[in-house]
A and B are shown apart, each in its own frame.
Chain A
Amino acid sequence: MLSALRSLSSGVIVLLSALPAAAHHSFAEFDLTQTIEVHGVVEEVWFNNPHIHYYLSATAEDGSQVSWDIYGSAPNNLVRQGWTRDSVKAGDVVTMVGNPAKQGVPRISLVKVIFADGRTLQRE
C-alpha cells in the first residue's frame, strides 16, 4: 500500500507513527502506524465541520498532478489551539504530514503542516 502511495507523489516520505487526539468519528480508515509527508500547493481550504480539509496538488513521479485530500481535525478544537481558517491559504506551498488512508487513496489524516519558511502547525 505504501509503495502505491509513493508512486502517487514524488513528495511522499514515510515517517514515524503518531496517534491523533480524540476525534468524533472513526480513524480506522487511516493507518496510524505510518506517517507520510506530501509536498505541494494548497488548492483549496475547507474549514468547516465536521472536519477541515485542505486539498493539495502534488506532483507524481510520472510528472502528473495528484490532488490530495488532507483530512484535518474539527474546527472548534483547532480554533482553541489558535489554528484558524486563515492559518493555511490557497496558493501556499506546504508539506503536509499525516497518517495515510488504508485504502491506498491520496488522503491523509493531518498531523502537522510545514510551511515553506519552516514554520509549523502541529495538531495537539
Chain B
Amino acid sequence: MTSMQSMAERLSALALLTLLCAPVSAEDTAFAGRWWLELAPDLVGVLELREAGGQIVGYVEGGPIDVEITGDRIVMLVDSRDVSMRQFNRRLTGKLTDGVMAGTFTTDQVEGAPAQPVPWRATRGGGVVATAGQAPTPVNFEGVWGRPAGKDLRKYRMDTTPLAEEYVANYNPDLDQPPMRCMLPGLVAQFGYPYFLEIMQRPERILFFSEAFGEVRQIYLDGRSPPEFFPNSADGFSTGHFEGETLVVETTHLKAGIRDYRGEPVSENARITERYTLLDDGQTLYGEMTIDDPENYRQPPLRRTARKRSTESILLPYECDPDSFFRQLYREGTFDEYLKRGRWRR
C-alpha cells in the first residue's frame, strides 16, 4: 500500500466517522420512521430510518444500509444479491418533499443493469403498518393462495452477531440445506417458498397447509399456551390474534434452523411475529415476518410475501425422496465430507 493510498483511506474513514457522528438535525427527524420503498420497475421493500445514538441509521428489510442526509436530501447505499448469491449495491439519491422521498438509483457490479439512473420513491404506510391496540375485527383468510408474487430487493447484509457470522462462514449450502434431504427448512426459510398455500379457518384455530413438504401449521386463536414438554420443531408453536383486520401470529419453540440459503441461523430461542392482511379486495394475501433472535441478529430481519388468490389450482401432492441428493454426493465424492458436517447441519 502506498502512503498516498493510506492517506486517502484514512481521510475516507475520517469522513465516514464524521458522517456517523453528525448530530441529528430537525431535517433529519423528518426522515425518521418506516417507509414503503419502491424501485422501478417492480421492486419493493421496507425502509426504516431512525435516530440512534445521535445519528440517523437506516435499515432495509431489517438489514443495515449506509445513509447520508444533508438538509432535505438523502443518499442510501443498499446492498443486495441475485439468485446466484452475487452481491451488488444500489445507490439511491433523492429528496424529501411533502412527506415523500423520491429520486433515482444506479446499480453497480451487475451485468445488464440499466446504465441510466432509474426512479425510486418512498412513502409512509405500505405493507402492514402498526396495528397494535386496534379492536379485533376478524376477516376470513380461507382460500388457495399462489406462489409468492412480486420481487423483493433481496437485501443481503443483516445486522448479524459474531455467533451468526461464524455459523455462516462454516455453512456449506451444497451439503447442509435441509430441503435437499426433504427436511423442513423451518418457518423462516419457508416463508417465501415458491409453492402454493391453502388456509382453512375456524374461530379458534387457523390451519396453513403448505404444498411444500405437505406441511400443516396450526395457529391457535384461543389464547392457549403450549403444553408442557412441547417439542421444539421446524414450525414451533404458534398463537394468533387479530389487531383490526390484521392477523398477528407469534411463534416460539422453534428448533435451530436457517433464515436463508446461505445459512444465516435462527436459534431455538427466536421469537417470530407474522402479520397477515388482505389487499386488493381480498385477492392478495400480504404477510410480513419479523425475526427477533438476539443471539444471531442485533436488528430483527424482516421478510415479506404477497400471494395472489388462486381459483384454478388445488394443492398438489408433495412426495419427497432424498435419493437424488445422496446420489449426487456419491457421484461427486462428497459423501465423506457430508458425514463430517453434522455440527453445521440443521
**A residues within 8 Å of B by Cβ?**
17, 19-33, 46, 48-51, 53, 67, 69, 74, 76-77, 79-80, 103, 105, 107
Nearest-neighbour CB distance to chain A for B152, whole angstroms, equals: 11
* CB atoms of A50 and B179 under 8 A apart: yes
Q: Known A23-B83, A32-B83; judge A76-B323 contact (CB<8 A).
A: no
Which parts of B320-345 form the interface with A (CB within 8 Å)? Answer: 320-321, 323-325, 327-328, 331-332
Q: Known A33-B111, A74-B194; judge A25-B179 contact (CB<8 A).
A: yes
Q: Which residues from chain B contact A19 at a C-beta distance below 8 Å?
A: 82-84
* CB atoms of A28 and B323 under 8 A apart: no
**B residues within 8 Å of A by Cβ?**
82-85, 111, 147-148, 173-174, 177, 179-180, 182, 185, 193-196, 211-212, 261-262, 313, 316, 318-321, 323-325, 327-328, 331-332
* CB atoms of A46 and B180 under 8 A apart: no
Q: What are some 5 contacts across the A-B interface (CB < 8 A)? A: A26-B261, A28-B173, A67-B331, A77-B194, A79-B316
A76 to B325, CA, bound (A): 18
Q: Which residues from chain B contact A30 at a C-beta distance below 8 Å?
A: 84
A51 to B180, CA, bound (A): 8
Main secondary structure on A side of the interface with B: loop
A79 to B182, CA, bound (A): 19
Nearest-neighbour CB distance to chain A for B344, whole angstroms, equals: 15
Q: Known A50-B180, A79-B316; judge A29-B321 contact (CB<8 A).
A: no
Q: Which residues from chain B contact A23 at a C-beta distance below 8 Å?
A: 83, 194
A103 — nearest CB in chain B belongs to which residue? B332
Q: Which residues from chain A contact B323 at a C-beta distance below 8 Å?
A: 46, 48
Other contacts beyond A25-B261, A26-B261, A50-B320: 16, CB < 8 A: A19-B82, A22-B83, A24-B185, A24-B195, A25-B177, A28-B85, A29-B173, A29-B174, A33-B111, A48-B321, A48-B323, A48-B324, A49-B318, A49-B320, A76-B316, A77-B147
Q: Known A22-B194, A76-B195, A105-B332; judge A49-B83 contact (CB<8 A).
A: no
Nearest-neighbour CB distance to chain B for A94, whole angstroms, equals: 19
Q: Which residues from chain B contact A80 at a C-beta distance below 8 Å?
A: 313, 316
* CB atoms of B179 and A76 under 8 A apart: no
A25 to B176, CA, bound (A): 11
* CB atoms of A26 and B85 under 8 A apart: yes
A30 to B82, CA, bound (A): 12
Q: Which residues from chain A contact B147 at a C-beta distance below 8 Å?
A: 22, 77
Interface centre among B179, B185, B319 (most CB of A within 10 A): B179
* CB atoms of A24 and B212 under 8 A apart: yes
A20 to B148, CA, bound (A): 15
Q: Which residues from chain A contact B177 at a C-beta distance below 8 Å?
A: 25-26
Q: Which residues from chain B contact A24 at a C-beta distance below 8 Å?
A: 179, 185, 193-195, 212
B192 — nearest CB in chain A belongs to which residue? A22
A122 to B325, CA, bound (A): 24
B212 — nearest CB in chain A belongs to which residue? A24
B333 — nearest CB in chain A belongs to which residue? A105
A20 — nearest CB in chain B belongs to which residue? B83
Nearest-neighbour CB distance to chain B for A32, whole angstroms, equals: 4
* CB atoms of A50 and B85 under 8 A apart: no
Which one, A22, A29, A33, A53, contacts B324 given CB within 8 A?
A: A53
Which one, B84, B194, B331, contacts A28 given CB within 8 A?
A: B84
Nearest-neighbour CB distance to chain B for A108, whole angstroms, equals: 12
Q: Which residues from chain A contact B83 at a C-beta distance below 8 Å?
A: 19-20, 22-23, 27, 32
Nearest-neighbour CB distance to chain B for A60, whole angstroms, equals: 15
Nearest-neighbour CB distance to chain A for B148, whole angstroms, equals: 7
Q: Known A28-B84, A29-B173, A32-B84; judge A69-B193 contact (CB<8 A).
A: no
Nearest-neighbour CB distance to chain B for A99, whole angstroms, equals: 8
B182 — nearest CB in chain A belongs to which residue? A50
Q: Which residues from chain B contact A105 at a C-beta distance below 8 Å?
A: 331-332
A112 to B332, CA, bound (A): 24
Nearest-neighbour CB distance to chain A for B196, whole angstroms, equals: 8
